Structure 1
Amino acid sequence: VTFRLMMQDLEAHFHELQRLQKEEQERFAKAASSLEKARDRKNDLPLEMENAEKTIQMAKNAMIEFETWKEFIEKLATEDVALKRIEEMGQAGAISGIIGSLENLIKFESKFRKALTVAASGWLKAVVVNDLKTALHCVESLKKMKIGRIKLIPLREVNEVEVKEVPNGSGIIGLAAELVKCDEKYLGAVNFVFGDTIIASGEKSAFLASQEGFRVVDLKGGLYEAGGGIESGFYRSPIDIFSLLPSEIAVGSLTKSV
């Protein structure tokens, strides 16, 4: 009986050892698996770090490009910024007598857009004001704000501007001022900008008229100064400078991400 009990006890211990062995084997397998994963992770870590560094560098480069582009466009946009500020001051009543930019006060047929834009030589964005006093007030305000330069047309002082007579000849469409429509009270500003320029249908007629002492623009946008000087090339429609500026939100988000 004692032997049988001893054998049963040994058998029980044996089964317990088997169970413990199995648990240890499972624990070892898990540990080995964890170790293998850790090794894989360790091997992948340099690559992940390299990719992360590349991403950070790309973001930094993009941010630098953003800021550089923004600064460049802002320098180009000084006239637009100044114009916008002056118009805002006029709307707010800070400066009385500001009427608005010439391009917002006139209309013309689309087929004459190139020719009239060239004829205006940058004066389409000029701010029309009541008189010289208002113009000087605008100038002083811009100097104080240090935000750029604009063109100003004091309406009272330009109302008596005389316009050129249209020369005879084939291909001559007419005086540029006559192709522009506006309220009669702004006619002086229109004559000031367009009153010395003739619009011609083609290059030959424009050149011949310029030889007679007229400033002429053809429908393609070629400019022929009185006496023979020619300014021509590819005509590009005006660009909205403000649409090119990256937003403060975009730049700020990019900065935070870096």
Structure 2
Amino acid sequence: MEPKLIAGNWKMHGTLAECIALASALREKARNQTERGCEFVVFPPTHLLVPVGHVIAGTGIGLGGQDCHVARFGPYTGNVSAAMLRDVGCRYVIVGHSERRGPHGETDGQVRSKAQAGIREGITPIVCVGETTEDYAAGRATSVISRQLIASVPDTAMPERIAVAYEPIWAIGASSSATIDHIGNIHSAIRSTLGGIFGRDKALAIRILYGGAVGPESAPRILQTVDVDGVLVGRASLNAAHFLSLGAPSN
């Protein structure tokens, strides 16, 4: 089995000095950890990928991009391609985050194209899905997420080269995560939908992450839930000790 994936999305946080300090703290704490049963990856702001990558090199902590363009190169001001991410050492790229789908109006089709761009360059896309507060209240979470998956996940991809992150939009940045029962039910439904796309056995190779108000206190229980193969965190990734503790077993 693949190790649990602990993905830290730094979003639009940190100056050069602050991100170098965070990366340095991660390096020191990773050096003092005798055993890590999880795979840790950080997603710094794009312009800081190179300096952060230099600091964490050799620690076992991976590097990822927060987004990518569908094209390899071209006249796309302000964008970054998957080829560019690969060139600076990225192994993962987040696509379809709610902060891209919502404010930037990205469609399922665009998310799918971005995922394909990552796969083309040998980078594993983490395809984000999740329901709004309105969908959640109306009991539409499962149907909304199923639709997003079918339209956003490339069905020609090798299952082991893709990941999915369930992020209920109503829980992102909140003080507490979704209930364990809700997380388990949605992740089970995601696995079932992926089984319809790839076949049941192949779908088992796809890691499904949970994101939404995950912290050191809630992470161990969430990671023990069936069909939860990791977490995608924001705020908790901005503290080196908190981030590296997310994969620790519960007492």
Q: Smaller-chain TM-score range?
A: under 0.3
TM-score, normalization by structure 1: 0.25
- TM-score where L is the length of structure 2: 0.25
Higher relative CO (Cα under 8 Å, sequence separation at least 6) belongs to 2
**Structure having the higher Rg:** 1
Whichever structure has more helix as a proportion of its residues is 1
